[in-house]
Amino acid sequence: MRQSLQGQGASRGTVLGRARIRLPHALQIAEQHVDPAAAESEHQRLDAAIATVRDELHALRARLHGALAQEIGEFLDLHSLLLDDPELLQGLDELVRVRHFSADYALRVQRDRLAAVFEAMDDPYFRSRVEDIDQVIGRVHAALHRRDCELRGFAGEVLVAETVAPAELAQLQAQGVIAIVTTGGSPLSHSAILARSLHLPLVVDAGAALDQVNDGDALIVDGGTGLVVVEPNGDDLRAHRERERLHAREKRALSRLRREPTRTLDGVDIRLFANAESREDVAEAHALGAAGVGLYRTEFLFLQRNELPDEDEQFRVYRDVVMGMSGRPVTIRTLDVGADKTDRTGLALRDEPNPALGLRGVRLSLVRKGLFATQLRALLRASAYGRIRLLVPMITCREEIMQVRAEVARVAAELRAEGREISDDMPLGVMIEVPAAALALSGFIRDVDFISLGTNDLVQYLLAVDRNHEGLGRLYTPLHPAVIRVIRDTIRMGRRHGVPVAVCGEMAAAAEYAPLLLALGLTDFSLHPGTMLEVRRCIRRCDHAALQAHASSLVRARDRAGIERWMRQASI
């Protein structure tokens, strides 16, 4: 029987497929004991299962590359850490060897123990880690019984589940899954961001889906509006076919914009830079006519391995990126890795109580000076091959900028003394993603050559909302008056001092935010190549002068509803 469900659209696209239900994970195992004489062999069986899972995670991690390495890799690394956690391993050892529990029952008991500890914590970030515990324990349980714990999908299927982990998305798409519907989640979660990168339609927060959808039901999923139609009728199917035709027409229209200028209706030129972290991203940015690379992430060089990359390896990567953009500027961000992006090199601390506020970004670089010097040497050597701009993350004060400048000058002098060819001018910029840096900008803006607004972290820190916490998804929004005013003030400060300002977070990649950012004075966007044509089309439809004339009413908005009203009026 036909019915419709309303969720939140998280990744656009409309599909017709067959439902595949995944019920919430629950390890329901009755109390089981083994003969004391068999306890040691039972423990060996459990050890073997844990080793199997450890190898599976490492093998999957090694297969990742490019954007997937960053987005998915950190979750796999977190699961590897949980698997090696002494609390988990010692608890299992005691339950099997001393209390003579079966391996299955020991897993259930230890899972419940750890979950109770996390659920009792005040910090919502740590409470949300129960899902990770369940996924790790589920893998070990599957390995105990030699079952494949990986979720499998089939061509033409729509996965309907409580949640979906980022680490599953690429695998599901490769298997032919055409869309995902979840009963929980947020459009701003890591899973949603990755789904958009993969162009995989996603609807989240469709609360009744698991109760009202059955395996094999036909589903129409609209990842833009969040509408899910179960067992569609003739009218639904005709409407779906029409949307497919419109989508195909839209793709053809967008492809014609590949070489068109990014210029508003009233003739104002806007620069679109690309975010990149692989050769493929750089090649796509070049083909789309990007003004340059606005953010090249260097973390992937460090996160996919067991040892640190040396100077020559980094130099070759940075040189290839610069040459790949054929003279257009390339903004390379220094290492931004910390306990929130776990690595296997021992570079980041493993036991930070609050990773988002810990030793990361420029803080790590200034502590690990040998590491920083190696990266700077590689970057300066690559600067001889094209226009490199150096971008420093997680800046909070002028002192950090001056320390970086001093280190750049020292390394440059060292390279020249060695007879190395380097550029005479490598602009130094900073990311504004910490509220303190935004508030103190007037005190150090003369010390930087450009600014990049990292709206993802800026929103998180301004609103004190973990952007990965699905229970707080509705609170994490760039459409908060404080966020709007910080963006406006930063752009205004940059213009006053002749310092270019770009936005490089998810906000720049969403076409619906383009009129708002133009009204706030932004002229430089940095975004994923996959959304560049949509943003270009939106900007070409905007009247820059009209948006600027109404900017004051946007900044005066007192709440999210007022900002959303402004956006609706701006799009008319």
Identify the active-site residue in 79, 141, 190, 240. 190
Contact 13, 179 (CB under 8 A): yes
Lateral strand order in the sheet of 157-161: 3-6, 227-230, 218-222, 14-22, 157-161, 179-182, 202-204, 8-11
Contact 305, 350 (CB under 8 A): no
Long-range contacts of 175-181 (CB under 8 A, 24+ apart): 177/20, 177/153, 178/15, 178/17, 179/13, 179/15, 179/17, 179/203, 179/219, 179/221, 179/223, 181/5, 181/7, 181/206, 181/209, 181/213, 181/219, 181/221, 181/228
Question: Distance between CA 391 and CA 333 in Å, rounded?
Answer: 4
538 labelled catalytic: no
Say what angle helices 66-83 and 279-287 make with each other, to 10 degrees. Answer: 150
The secondary element (H helix, E strand) that includes residue 18 is strand 14-22
In sequence order, what are the residues at sequence separation of 6 or more whose Cβ sits closer than 8 angstroms to the Cβ of residue 296?
A: 275, 276, 277, 282, 321, 330, 331, 332, 333
The secondary element (H helix, E strand) that includes residue 296 is strand 293-297
**Residue 234: exposed, middle, or buried by beta-carbon count in 10 A (0-12, 13-18, 19+)?**
exposed
**Residue 448, by phi and psi: left (phi above 0), alpha (psi -120 to 50) or beta?**
beta
**Paired tokens of 391:** 């971008």
Listed residue (519, 457, 526) closest to 491, CA to CA: 519
**Paired tokens of 36:** 């004391």
Listed residue (527, 526, 479) closest to 500, CA to CA: 526
CA atoms within 13 A on the CB side of 538: 22
Q: Which residues, in sequence order, are bridge partners of residue 9?
A: 203
Q: Which residues, in sequence order, are bridge partners of residue 429?
A: 391, 450
Identify the active-site residue in 480, 504, 538, 544. 504
CA 509 to centroid of chain Cα atoms: 12
**Paired tokens of 252:** 């053809």
**Phi, psi for residue 238 in degrees, rounded to 5:** -65, -40
CA distances from residue 438 to 171, 325, 442, 486, 494 in whole angstroms, order as listed: 39, 31, 9, 7, 11
CA 5 to centroid of chain Cα atoms: 28
CA atoms within 13 A on the CB side of 419: 0
Beta strands in 475-546 (DSSP E): 501-503, 524-527
Listed residue (383, 408, 409, 378) closest to 301, CA to CA: 378
CA distances from residue 358 to 4, 243, 351, 539 in whole angstroms, order as listed: 45, 47, 10, 38
Residue type, 516: L
397 labelled catalytic: no
Question: Distance between CA 479 and CA 457 in Å, rounded?
Answer: 14
Active site members: 190, 504
